[in-house]
Structure formats: C-alpha cells, structure tokens
Copies of this chain bind each other. A is one copy, B any other.
Amino acid sequence: MQSRSEVTRQKILSSATRLFSLNGYDGTGVAEICEAAGVSKGAFYHHFPSKQDVFLNILNEWLDQLSSQMQAARLATHDVPEGLVAMSGLIDQVFQMSRNHYSLFFEFWIQAMRHPEIWQTAIAPYHRFQTWLAAILQSGINEGSVDPSVPPDDTSRILIAMVLGLLLQAFFDPNGAAWGDVTESGIKTLVTEFSRRSL
C-alpha cells in the first residue's frame, strides 16, 4: 500500500501534469496545483521545493517509466538488433498519448531553453537515457550482432532522433500516417544497416 505521503505526492504530480498541459508552465501557479490536487501549500512545499521541481519530477518519472518498459522489451529478445526493434514497438503507446501530453513535452523544451537552471537539471535524464542506449549498442557489438564499425554514442543519438522526429510529426499531423508503423519501419531500416555493415 502507498503511504499517505506518497499518495499526496502523486496527487500533486498528476494535477500539475494536467494543468501544465492545459495552461502551460507559466500559466500554472502553485496555488492552482494545490487546489486541483486538494492539498495545502504546506503539503506541497513539504514534497517539492518549487514548481520547477515538480516539472522536473514529471519529466524524470516519464523517462524512467519509458526506459523500464524498453529494458523489459529488450530482455525478451535474443539479440540487440531484435531488442531495438521490439523497443520501437512501445513507441506506439507514446503516440497514443493525448495532445495534452504532447503540449507538456513542448513546454518542457521551451522552459529548458528559457531557464538555464531547468536546462542544467533536465539534461541529466536525457544523458542518462542516451548513455543507456549507447551501452545497449556496445553490448550488441560485444555479442557480435551489431557491426563493430558502428559508433555507439552517435548511433544512440540517431535512434533517439528517429523517435523524437516522428513524435513531432505525429503531433503535428496525427492522421497523416500510421505513425507507430512508420516508427517501427524507420528503426528497422537503421537497425538492419547497423547489423549488416560488415556483411
């Protein structure tokens, strides 16, 4: 069972996610988050030093959740190239997120751009994710399933780019394509090339 304190924390995070998505980060105050979550300002500041800290926690939890799901997909396959394709299958869930969540995603970039202190903190989970993906590619090289000429760091950036770039387009043109399928096809194209370069 979750402790009462944890329940309060989650209530604050989910109300804030909804309000940031609806009204933007700048358009949402701590008072409104407290009202929507049904908690006192005292309780809010017990859990989070600032609105910015709430924002970064939302981002971190989202990335952690995504990388655990990806890790599970990866472990269910027998080599790295297959694992990467299975991971890309999860992206369809991300595409299914409401437009409201997309909004938060762009809001995050805008805030990171305007406020160096958000950027400093927010770049850490991005680096963590990118490094994690590079390590997976390195393990593919080690097991012989990924071509040894593939540079793990830049290649992880290329894989992340494919997904981010399709997310942007899917947001912009939701009915323009079967975005989940396009993502799987884009990732498969890259992975095929990464695994067969030496052939």
- A residues with a Cβ closer than 8 A to B are 24, 99, 102-103, 106-107, 109-110, 112-114, 119, 123, 126-127, 153-154, 157-158, 160-166, 168-169, 171-173, 176-177, 181-182, 185-186, 189-190, 192-194
Q: Cβ of A190: which chain B residues have Cβ within 8 Å of it? A: 186, 189-190, 193
Q: A157-B176, A164-B168, A165-B165 are in contact. List 18 more A-B contacts (CB 8 A).
A: A103-B113, A103-B114, A109-B172, A112-B172, A126-B169, A126-B173, A127-B176, A153-B177, A157-B166, A157-B169, A158-B166, A158-B185, A161-B162, A164-B165, A168-B168, A186-B190, A189-B190, A190-B193
Between-chain CB contacts (< 8 Å), 8 pairs = A154-B177, A158-B182, A158-B185, A158-B186, A158-B189, A161-B166, A162-B165, A164-B168
Q: How far is the CB of A13 from chain B (nearest CB, A)?
A: 22
Q: Cβ of A172: which chain B residues have Cβ within 8 Å of it? A: 109, 112, 119, 123, 126
Of the candidates A160, A168, A171, the one having the most CB atoms from chain B within 10 angstroms of its own CB is: A168
**A137 to B61 alpha-carbon distance, docked (Å):** 40
Q: How far is the CB of A25 from chain B (nearest CB, A)?
A: 11
User: Which B residue's beta carbon lies closest to that of A190?
Assistant: B189
Contact residues of A: prevailing secondary structure: helix
- The answer to whether A162 and B158 have CB atoms under 8 Å apart is yes
**A186 to B166 alpha-carbon distance, docked (Å):** 15
**A161 in contact with B165 given A110-B103, A173-B123 (CB within 8 Å):** yes
**A164 to B165 alpha-carbon distance, docked (Å):** 5
- The answer to whether A110 and B112 have CB atoms under 8 Å apart is no
Q: Cβ of A160: which chain B residues have Cβ within 8 Å of it? A: 165, 169
